[in-house]
Structure 1
Amino acid sequence: MKHLVVMFFGALLFIFQNHGVLAEDGFMKTRGVQLVLNGVPYYGHGFNAYWLMYMGTDPSERVKVSSALREAKGHGLTIARTWAFADGGYRALQTSPGSYDERTFRTVLTRINTLTGVAYKDEPTIMAWELMNEPRCTSDPSGKTIQAWITEMASYLKSIDGNHLLEVGLEGFYGSSNPKKNPNNYPIGTDFIANNQIPDIDFATVHAYPDQWLTGSSYEDQVSFLNSWVSGHIQDAQNILKKPVLFAEFGRSLKESGYTTSQRDRMFTVVYSGIYSSARGGGAAVGGLFWQLLAEGMDNFQDGYGVVLSESSSTVGLIAEESRKLNEIRKKYARLRNIEKWKRAREIGRDRFWSGNKDNGTEN
């Protein structure tokens, strides 16, 4: 079975299907508030590693990419998110602040995979595209500028690639829909509700950094905020957007004053518990990606949030446990689908049997 890769313009995600549940390789779809792969609800668990493209271009460092992905797969992680863009320099996507090269934009979508011979836009190994990582427009807090940009760009991307899912790359901040939910009432020109209600946007994303957003506040206040942030976005995705929501970035920096591993563990637990509680009931939360995964020997990339899976810690244990729990949900849905397929096949076989007997005049 192929590994499923998810690419975003702000990042690139790989999904590893190492649990043996799915026997086919199709495009990721949405059905209501769920992600669906080959007819089975999909719940992903993974990480961010923005440096994969950077390391992959250097033959002497490429082993770190292989090592990180191997460790991730071994811990049951199913999604990796990394860069799929370049600023400045040769053939950059953003040639200068605010200026973009449409040729490069198209090149990313239509590039031929040298290993498979398939264009990215036709590659079922890719799950989804992200328009931009953490878009903001503080010059227009009304949100009209960002709303118009998302609408235009989403339509354009879908006109080139109609196979893959699309999301914005939002942090989850609210605009006029509910500004009081924002940390410190951040006015940044985006709106979790309005932006994700655009028809061409298939699922929502949320980031969570209470240690950055609530500087000066107590750790307990940050945990309380995170609880509300996670549960509130799941509820809004479920009841208002009626679309899936992916928690695409979260973590706690070891550079915080008084940092302990148990503090980071508690933050991870809040996010993971919210996702699992929703997922086991068929809700809108479809997974979480911690920031960020590092391989051994990458101290220069340590921004305070890095997790090295080979260095056993209580955090690594939490990550592996969430993998196990979400995998059990996937397997449950896969078993139910197999039962349904078996029942349909049995009914078809029975109908053919009686139809054949009737045609031969042998029915009783």
Structure 2
Amino acid sequence: MATYITWSVVVLYMALLCCVCDARVHWGKRGGFVGTEGSTFVLNGSPFLFNGFNAYWMMNVATDPTERMKVTQVLQDAANAGLSVCRTWAFADGGYKALQISSGAYDERVFQGLDFVVAEARKYRIRLILSFVNNYEDYGGRPQYVDWARKEGVEIRSDDDFYTNCIVKGYYKNHVKRIITRINTITKIAYHDDATIMAWELMNEPRCQVDYSGRTINDWVQEMASFVKSLDKHHLLEVGMEGFYGDTMSERKKINPGYQVGTDFISNNLVKEIDFATIHAYPDQWLPGQNQDSKVAFMQRWMWSHYEDSRTILKKPLVIAEFGKSTDYPESNINTRDSYINIVYRNIYRMAKTRGTVGGGLVWQLMAKGMGSFSDGYQIILSENPSTTSIISEHSHAMSTLSHVLKLRSQNVPLEKDHSSW
């Protein structure tokens, strides 16, 4: 992997020292919340860049105290690899190990599993992005909410009534309030006061089949974003979008992978209460039958078009919130996965280095040993995949160093010339 940047030993030392000091001094109850200034993430007044990961399963596993060491192991391994942000679910609606058994009814045992995840993340200084609900039926999600309403006699036409029916929207708001106002049974800190949480996510990959323009979801985002901010003004908020373009910029629809999903990357993220934009990217699934070069080319276009729109139109930070490479496809293996992740990291670094805007990426997904039931082809076990771990660690170091170099620049500290080969 190419060297990202060459700086003097003194500058590197200062940067690392700043990092250690910031972590120790500012990780308090009300201090150290990640914020934004324009299209840049900031922490305690300084630029904040990161490398992160997805681990959606954490609450589910932590519900069983005998399995909690798997959460601890992944967080420990992630911290050792320099990963500092984790995105995970704060929902499980109906079904097995449900957090929300029925609308408004919660299993305290499962909630304490989420408490453990937040407390352990705090211990390893990993910040969390917590998602409130799923678009899909996995872990209940949008279909479960409308089914609860249907069983109460509410007239429901389709799952898309989730976005418009006042009863269903009330169910969702109740859940959001329950999460945000939760007092952690381990740390004794209310979630809305805990700087361990970097951001809330309205929904994992919202989609709407009855309105491809993006307007239905836009109205829902406006309403729910305002509601979240009325409860919590400390934390950042994002929608949870994949990045599909809608009617706002019709010429951008050609960037989509041949179809729309009812979202509008521009208008949905222009809602003022939304603090940063996200994209997901799965060319293996979105572009079946195409070769690897075509998929990589798509990924490059996908990232750079959203980077430009975030920088020039939204004027908000962008996170590559889900990306990965499955080894389950016939043409894929560990080497192709490593190469793909490396390409994505190179793009993230270039974007962060040139004009900011892209704050980091979250690879899908990290797991611990003995979690075969959660395997989806994308899983990475850091202790068993040294080549992938090396790539992840190097990118973490590069983003951390760049973050602190930008901090020194903002303080007008003289730096050596950037000799980056990128």
Q: TM-score band (shorter)? A: 0.7 to 0.9
Is 1:63 the counterpart of 2:69? The answer is yes
Distance 1:58 1:19, change over 3 A: farther
CA shift for structure 1 position 270? 2.2
Corresponding residue number in structure 1 for 2:159: none
Distance 1:247 1:281, change over 3 A: same
Among 69, 78, 89, which residue is 1:83 paired with? 89
Corresponding residue number in structure 2 for 1:154: 225
Q: Retained in 2: the 8 A contact 1:21–1:334? A: no
Is 1:174 the counterpart of 2:176? The answer is no
Distance 1:267 1:21, change over 3 A: farther
Corresponding residue number in structure 2 for 1:20: 20
Give me the CA root mean square deviation: 1.9
Residues 195-248 of structure 1 show CA distances to partners (whole Å, capped at 9, x for unaligned) of 111111000001010001001111111011011111111111111111100001
CA shift for structure 1 position 81? 1.1
Q: Retained in 1: the 8 A contact 2:352–2:359? A: yes
Q: Within 1, Cα distance between the matches of 2:172 and 2:33?
A: 28
AA in 2 matched with 1:182: N
Q: Within 2, Cα distance between the matches of 1:202 and 1:124?
A: 16
CA shift for structure 1 position 338? 6.2
Is 1:42 the counterpart of 2:48? The answer is yes
Is 1:298 the counterpart of 2:371? The answer is yes
CA shift for structure 1 position 280? 1.8
CA shift for structure 1 position 331? 2.1
Q: Within 2, Cα distance between the matches of 1:269 and 1:138?
A: 34
Q: Retained in 2: the 8 A contact 1:226–1:270? A: no
Residues 249-280 of structure 1 show CA distances to partners (whole Å, capped at 9, x for unaligned) of 00111111221222212221221111101112
Distance 1:233 1:216, change over 3 A: same
CA shift for structure 1 position 18? 11
User: Where in structure 1 are there 5+ consecutive unaligned residues?
Assistant: 1-16, 341-364
CA shift for structure 1 position 21? 5.1
Corresponding residue number in structure 1 for 2:151: none
Corresponding residue number in structure 1 for 2:209: 138
AA in 2 matched with 1:299: G
> Which segments of structure 1 move beyond 2 Å, counting only runs of 4 or more?
91-105, 114-118, 333-340
Q: Retained in 2: the 8 A contact 1:34–1:282? A: no
**What aligned pairs does 1:231-246 form with structure 2 within 5 A after superposition?**
231-246=304-319
AA in 2 matched with 1:194: S
Is 1:183 the counterpart of 2:232? The answer is no
Q: Secondary structure at the match of 1:61?
A: helix
Residues 113-168 of structure 1 show CA distances to partners (whole Å, capped at 9, x for unaligned) of 22332211122222111100000002111211101000110011111111111100
Q: Retained in 1: the 8 A contact 2:33–2:198? A: yes
TM-score by length of 2: 0.73
AA in 2 matched with 1:183: P
CA shift for structure 1 position 107? 1.1
Distance 1:68 1:241, change over 3 A: same
User: Where in structure 2 are there 5+ consecutive unaligned residues?
Assistant: 1-16, 107-132, 134-140, 147-161, 163-167, 414-422
CA shift for structure 1 position 281? 2.6
AA in 1 matched with 2:381: V
AA in 2 matched with 1:112: I
Is 1:107 the counterpart of 2:178? The answer is yes
Corresponding residue number in structure 2 for 1:333: 406
Higher helix proportion (structure 1 or 2): 2
AA in 1 matched with 2:36: T
TM-score by length of 1: 0.84
CA shift for structure 1 position 72? 0.4
Q: Within 2, Cα distance between the matches of 1:21 and 1:318?
A: 26
Among 322, 345, 353, which residue is 1:280 paired with? 353
Q: Retained in 1: the 8 A contact 2:244–2:256? A: yes
Q: Within 2, Cα distance between the matches of 1:232 and 1:271?
A: 14
Among 190, 201, 204, which residue is 2:277 paired with? 204
Is 1:269 the counterpart of 2:342? The answer is yes
Is 1:32 the counterpart of 2:38? The answer is yes
Among 65, 74, 86, which residue is 2:80 paired with? 74
Q: Within 1, Cα distance between the matches of 2:385 and 2:365?
A: 16
Q: Retained in 2: the 8 A contact 1:127–1:164? A: yes
AA in 1 matched with 2:203: M
Q: Within 1, Cα distance between the matches of 2:223 and 2:174?
A: 17
Percent identity, please.
47
Corresponding residue number in structure 1 for 2:333: 260
Corresponding residue number in structure 1 for 2:145: 96
Corresponding residue number in structure 2 for 1:3: none
**Which protein is bigger by CA-based radius of gyration?**
1
Q: Within 1, Cα distance between the matches of 2:18 and 2:188?
A: 23
